[in-house]
A and B are shown apart, each in its own frame.
Chain A
Amino acid sequence: GDSVTQMEGPVTLSEEAFLTINCTYTATGYPSLFWYVQYPGEGLQLLLKATKADDKGSNKGFEATYRKETTSFHLEKGSVQVSDSAVYFCALRMADKLIFGTGTRLQVFP
Chain B
Amino acid sequence: DADVTQTPRNRITKTGKRIMLECSQTKGHDRMYWYRQDPGLGLRLIYYSFDVKDINKGEISDGYSVSRQAQAKFSLSLESAIPNQTALYFCATSDSADKGRNQPQHFGDGTRLSIL
Contacts and interface: CB of A to CB of B under 8 A. Distances in A.
Interface of A: 32, 34, 36, 41-46, 49, 51, 89, 93, 95-98, 100-103
B90 A43 contact: yes
Contacts, number: 52
19 contacts: A42-B110, A43-B92, A43-B108, A43-B109, A43-B110, A44-B90, A44-B107, A45-B107, A51-B102, A89-B43, A93-B100, A93-B101, A96-B50, A96-B56, A97-B45, A97-B48, A97-B58, A98-B33, A102-B42
B48 to A, nearest CB: 7
Q: Which bucket holds chain B's interface residue count?
A: 20 to 34
Interface of B: 4, 33, 40-45, 48, 50, 56, 58, 90, 92, 100-110
Given A43-B90, A44-B90, A96-B48, A89 B42 contact: yes
A98 B42 contact: no
A101 B107 contact: no
Contacts of A93: 100-103
Contacts of A100: 42-44
